[in-house]
Amino acid sequence: MKSRLLSILVLAMVLSAGSTLVSGETEPPGYVFSVTVQNKQQLDVVLDRAEDLRELFNPDEHGKIAIVLHGDELQLFQKDGYRLNQSMVERARLLDQDNIIDIKACQTMMRELQIEQNELPSFIEQVPFAPTEIKRLEKEEGFTRL
């Protein structure tokens, strides 16, 4: 219940912020989510919320959503586990492809989890350190952390 309420609040914030744009303005700022989950079910909840946005969200009007992964969930995207996690990986790929979300992976956590760079799908952008990337998105690109 708490996560559903949070999702509704976040969606309302995203939609209301984007609706204030005036024609001819620069690209709307984006939103960044710091994600660390412990299992596939928790990551599925994150992807469910992103899929909910597909119906209501136009990135050109409301800005992009970056999801920065920096926890055990990175293991779910490893190529050697693709068969077990295929539906989840494909959902994430489609959301990324449709510009609903932009998925980023923390290379520092990848090293800690012993995940090689070539073990993650190519649609996931790898960044050196999650907290630095989140701050960069906030400062340089005007993203809002949610």
pLDDT in tens, 66-121: 999 999 999 999 999 999 999 999 999 999 998 889 999 999 999 999 999 999 99
Residues in the chain: 146
Cα separation, 122 vs 104, in Å, equals: 11
Closest to 105 measured CA to CA, from 139, 72, 68: 68
* Sheet architecture: strand order including 102-106: 125-127, 102-106, 65-69, 31-35, 144-145
Domains contained in the chain, CATH given: 2-145 (3.40.1260.10)
Q: What is the pTM of this model?
A: 0.79
CA angle 144/103/69 to nearest 5° reads: 85
Sequence-distant (≥ 6) Cβ neighbours of residue 134 within 8 angstroms:
32, 34, 68, 145
DSSP letter at 62 equals H
Residue 77 near residue 86 (C-beta atoms within 8 A):
no
pLDDT score for 130: 97
pLDDT over 60 (residue 17): no
